[in-house]
Amino acid sequence: MNVNTVSTQEIWIDTPRGRLYAKHWEPAEIDGRNLAPIVLFHDSLGSVELWRDFPERLAASINRTVIAYDRLGFGKSDAYHGKLALTFITDEAEVGFKAVREQLGFDTFIAVGHSVGGCMSVGVAARYPACLGVITESAQCFIEDRTRAGILEARDNFAKPGQVDRLKRYHGDKAQWVLDAWIKTWLSPEFSDWNLYAELERVRCPLLALHGENDEYGSLVQPQRMAERASGSSSHEIFPGCAHLPHRENPEIVLASISKWISTI
């Protein structure tokens, strides 16, 4: 299907802590079945806009509705007041996602997340039996030396003049908070023993862990362990030559992998 046949709609979601910005992509020729939508969860510095054309291409390739939203504090959503809670990954299932699901009125769904968004998609799948499948891309299920090293290098790069301005294009005056929420949380001593194992054990639906072979924030042990720890049927796939952003570095192979996997569940 050509992406020109996919319509888009911007939506505002009300929550007790502020409004969330969401976007909805719908193919013009969805067949008669009531297919579960895809819900996208963005990464630590991400937003709806930073998905670029991937959601539209995904909707076209799988002929399903795709929904993405900016978490509180990110993108066009309202600011997050205060320090990010250390439980923010698992909290998202009962905060932002719950509001999106209730106000958009869908029941079953497939969760797809990039990086920390992949962790959140696991948390959502663990809490909602209506989740039919979960796909993680470049996600971590524990913190390893490579994770810290990658974040430290990013911290040094963002300390250079003008680098935070790159984030302001997408997050406005929330950009510094977004950067601090990522770096300070993941490098804090209190977060050093974080892992996703308990959540993975509660995931009963099928799981697919996607990972680039050169990911700078996580070794290939991450997707392997993700698949091993999940309680439902699971698998992992490694993309040769890709780093932390396979859906941007080689979108065709990612779209093909997702489309093939979804057709089996």
Model confidence pLDDT, tens digit, residues 166-180? 999 999 999 999 999
> How far is Cα 7 from Cα 27, in angstroms, rounded to an integer?
6
Query: In order of start, what are the domains of the chain with their CATH numbers?
Result: 3-262 (3.40.50.1820)
**Which residue, among 106, 104, 166, 94, has the nearest Cα to 131 in the 3D structure?**
106
> How far is Cα 132 from Cα 8, in angstroms, rounded to an integer?
24
Alpha helices for the chain (secondary structure H): 54-62, 88-91, 96-104, 116-127, 145-158, 164-171, 175-187, 197-201, 221-229, 246-249, 251-262
pLDDT digits over 203-235, tens only?
999 999 999 999 999 999 999 999 999 999 999
Query: Is pTM beyond 0.75 here?
Result: yes
In DSSP notation, 110-155 reads EEEEETHHHHHHHHHHHH-TTEEEEEEES--SB--HHHHHHHHHHH
